Amino acid sequence: MLSIPTEELRPEKRIGGAGASRYNSRIVRTLPLAVVVALCLTLPCRAQAVAPDAAQEFAARIAALAGPGTATLTTVNSSSATAEQYATFRKALQRGLQDAGVRLRQSAQASSDIGVTLSENVRGMVYLAEVKQGTETRTVVMEAPRMAAPPGPSSAMTLRRSLLVSRAEPMLDAALLRVGGENRLAVLSARAVVLYRQQAGKWDEESSAPITHGQSLPLDLRGHLVHTGEFSLEAYLPGTVCTVNLAGAIHAECRDADDAWPLGAQAALFNSGRNYFNGLLRPGFGRQLAPFFSAAALPYPGYTLWVFAGVDGEIRTHDGSRQGTLNARDWGSDLASVHSGCGGGTQLLVTSASDAGGHDSLRAFELVERQPVMTAPAMEFAGTITALWAAHDGSSAMAILRDARTATYEVFNVSISCTP
């Protein structure tokens, strides 16, 4: 069993409260809730509350202008930093100035007056200082990483997710593997299969194999990793299939091909110039289906019910002999089955969210009398889910999230836990 730190779904937490003043509005959004959710849910994963190195460097640059001696220090928060973050920044700045030989006083007889403003721009924080000595005023302008919102309180939820890795490059699929007795994570992008090794609960990039393809790829690019053995994977991209060897140094052999993509017990032909499967399945159901974006299998005694998210927005089912339609117009285009052992045993994870706010969600459903019944509350994501594939052992799903605010992609492992 792979050991992955898990994060339970947390309620959304708003930032920018009473202590967070703004100099002026940086970017005003029509639906600010989306931005708030993005800030709250994504930043705690990666950023520290304050960048201590940046504050130290800033202090050193101020000290270089002020020189050793006494100084007054006035600070103003003109950013979205919380009162707590602002206090941390101020403390780090005071410590840095004192380390650099500046003796802070409240007296008007100090040799320098230092005015510091904590500001921000589209890229992150901006530290501003005005150092006044007599009639002369000199300035320091320095950019620093954005500060993080503090984590919110936790509460028990049925859906669980674990953030595995985050990259700037778009990712298409990921697979958790056991290779030579060790945990590995393979991540597929348009250009490479990247292998990660788990160390101290964290995934570190180990090696990568470049992917070559002879044609331009579609804009809404999709790809799929298929586990074919302990030391091998197959990577499917539109018009390209790669065999990935994990024994020794990772290596990928790619060829231009329109092979059907394995989707469990079925394989489906993908339209290499578009972003969907064209409806041809092998072994199939005796006739071509309508084009679809994704498919998932739900096992029932004596048969398997396939669920297809159609390009036309319809959610269709096929049990091998009969085709049906689900009343699920609010489902998104991506779905995957997860065997949790809870309830009926296997649930459908589906994307579903308004596209107006730049955030997405996953919900779990079971089908009761061929109609969907939600079995877990929605798990909100601070971004758009760009890919959702069932894990190769079927016990979880891999979700790729695009965080528009930070322009990064994140791989989540999503599972369903039973609650009494």
Partner 1 sequence: MFRSVARRRLGALIVAAALAFLCREAHARVRPHYGGEVRVETSEAEAPDFIKLLVTETLTSINAGGEAAPALAVRWEPQNGARRWRFWLRPDVRLHGTDMDEPLTAALTANALRAGLAKAGIAARVDASGEVVTVEFDTPMPQFAALLAGAEFGVGTIDSRGVVVGSGPYAIQSVAPPGMTLVANPDHWAGRRFPETVTVLCSRSAREQALDLAAKRADLIEVPPEELRRAQQERSRLSQMMAAELIVVSAERAGAGDVRLRRALSESIDRAALLNFIFQKQGEVSGALLPNWITGYGVLLPAVHDAARARQLRSEAGAGPQSTLGYEKSDAEMQLLAERIALNARESGIAVQPVGRTSNVDWLLRRVPVQTANPAAALAGVLRSLHRTVELNDATLEGVFRAERAALADYTAIPLLHLNRAWAAGERLRDWSNASPLTPLPAESWVEGKP
Instruction: Assess contact for 397 and 389: CB atoms under 8 A.
Output: yes
Nearer to partner 1, 127 or 203 (CB): 127
Amino acid at position 263, single letter: L
Least spacing, CB of residue 274 vs partner 1, in Å: 6
- Give Dmax (Cα) for the chain: 91
Nearer to partner 1, 112 or 340 (CB): 112
Distance of CA 11 to the CA centre of its chain: 17
Least spacing, CB of residue 116 vs partner 1, in Å: 10
Instruction: Assess contact for 291 and 310: CB atoms under 8 A.
Output: yes
Least spacing, CB of residue 199 vs partner 1, in Å: 30
Least spacing, CB of residue 285 vs partner 1, in Å: 23
Amino acid at position 107, single letter: S
Round to whole Å and give the CA distance between 390 and 398.
6
Nearer to partner 1, 101 or 273 (CB): 273
Nearer to partner 1, 143 or 393 (CB): 143
Q: How far is CA 140 from CA 50, 76, 77, 194, 411, in A?
A: 19, 15, 16, 41, 39
Round to whole Å and give the CA distance between 291 and 165.
32
Q: Which residues bind partner 1 (CB under 8 A)?
A: 23-31, 34, 76, 78, 117, 119-123, 125-126, 128, 130, 139-143, 216-221, 273-276, 293, 311, 313, 329-334, 351-358, 360, 384-385, 404-405, 407
Sheet (strand 102-104) strand order: 102-104, 69-77, 112-120, 125-133, 136-144
Take residue 92 and report the two structure tokens written for it. Answer: 């780090």
Least spacing, CB of residue 204 vs partner 1, in Å: 25
Nearer to partner 1, 143 or 253 (CB): 143
Nearer to partner 1, 120 or 366 (CB): 120
Nearer to partner 1, 293 or 365 (CB): 293
Query: Do the strands 102-104 and 408-416 form a parallel or antiparallel pair, or are they unpaired?
Result: unpaired
Least spacing, CB of residue 107 vs partner 1, in Å: 25
Query: Do the strands 384-390 and 371-381 form a parallel or antiparallel pair, or are they unpaired?
Result: unpaired
Instruction: Assess contact for 381 and 401: CB atoms under 8 A.
Output: yes
Least spacing, CB of residue 335 vs partner 1, in Å: 11
